[in-house]
Structure 1
C-alpha cells in the first residue's frame, strides 16, 4: 500500500530557535548559501490583538510535486512513502524545478550548478531513525507522520498563495496558534 509521509508543526510549541534548520545544515554538510529548512516569524497586529508564531518550513514532499512534473531530465522521483527525491546524477541544472516550485524548495547548488533539495533524510528513515530536523527539535513541535494518521479537523494544511498551486497537495500540516490574554491584549503563540 502506498503511503504519504508529512510534517506536522505545532506552532504553539515552536520557539523559533532554529535547531531544526541548523541540524539539517550541519548534518547534510550544506554550503552556507543552501538552506533546506527555514524558520519564518509570522506577526500580525491589530488595535487590540498581537499574533506571533514561528513556521519551520522545508520541502513539502507534495502529493503532486510540481518539480517532478516539469523536470525535463527525469531528475526527480517519488518513493512509495511519498518522499520526493532529487537525483543529482540526472540533473542538468536547467532550473525548471526551481522556477516551478510554489514553495521555493529546490535551489541551485553553487558548487555543482545542479538543483538540490531536502531528501527527508530518507537513509535515516530506512533505518528507522527520524530526520535530523525532527530529532533536533527541542520541544517536539516538529514531527513526521503518515498522512492517514493526521486528524485533519484540528490542523491546517500548508498551501501556496495562488489557489491553482494548491493542486500540489503539500504534505505539511500546522496546528494553529491558540490565543491567550496578556495585559489586556489577545496574544497568540
Structure 2
C-alpha cells in the first residue's frame, strides 16, 4: 500500500511563535519575500463563544495535486510517500502552477524566476529525520503523520466545504480549536 504523508496541526497547542516558518526560511535559504510556510491568526466569534488560533500552513502535498496536473513541463512529481516534489531543472517559470493551486502555494523565486514550494524536507525524511518545521515546533503542535494512521473523527480539513478544494485532497489536517465562553 502506498502511504500518504501529511501535516497535522493541533491549533490548541500552536502559540503562533513562528519557529516553524523561520526554520523553513533559514534551512532552505529562501530569498525574501519567498516563504514556503506561513503563519496566520484566525478569529471566529459569536455572542457566546470566541475562538482565536493560529494556522501554520505550507504545501498540502495533495492526493491529487493541481500543480502537477497543469504543469506543461512535467516539473512536478509525486513520490510513493505522497510528497509532491518540484523539479526546478524542468521548470520553465510559466506560472501555470502558481495560477492553478487553490492554496496559493507555488511561488516564483525572484532569483531564479522559476516556481518553488515546500518539498517537505524529503532529503531529511529519507535519512529518518523530521522536516525542519516540525523539528522547530516548540509545543509539538505541528507533526508529520501517515494519514491512514489518523483518527478521522477527531480531525478537520479546513477546506472541506469548498468543492474545488476537495478535489485536490489536501494532506493537511487540524485538530479543531476549543471554543472559549465569553
Q: 1:8-39: per-residue Cα shift (whole Å, max 9, x none)? A: 00000000000000000001000011010011
Mapped pair 1:151 → 2:151: yes
Structure with the bigger percentage of strand: 1
User: Structure 1 stretches of 5 or more lacking a match?
Assistant: none
Q: 1:110-140: per-residue Cα shift (whole Å, max 9, x none)? A: 1100000000000000000000000000000
1:86 to partner: Cα distance: 0.2
| Over 6 Å off, 4+ runs | none
1:165 to partner: Cα distance: 2.6
* Structure label with greater radius of gyration: 1
Q: Residue 106 of structure 2 corresponds to which residue in structure 1?
A: 106
User: Structure 2 stretches of 5 or more lacking a match?
Assistant: none
Please give the TM-score of this superposition, normalised by the length of structure 1. 0.93
Provide the rounded CA distance (Å) in 2 between the counterparts of 1:158 and 1:65. 17
1:160 to partner: Cα distance: 6.7
Provide the rounded CA distance (Å) in 2 between the counterparts of 1:50 and 1:151. 26
Please give the TM-score of this superposition, normalised by the length of structure 2. 0.97
What is the root-mean-square deviation in Å for CA atoms of aligned residues? Answer: 1.1
Q: Residue 86 of structure 1 corresponds to which residue in structure 2?
A: 86
Contact 2:49 2:179 (8 Å CA) reproduced: no
Q: 1:75-95: per-residue Cα shift (whole Å, max 9, x none)? A: 000000000000000000000
SS at match of 1:36: coil
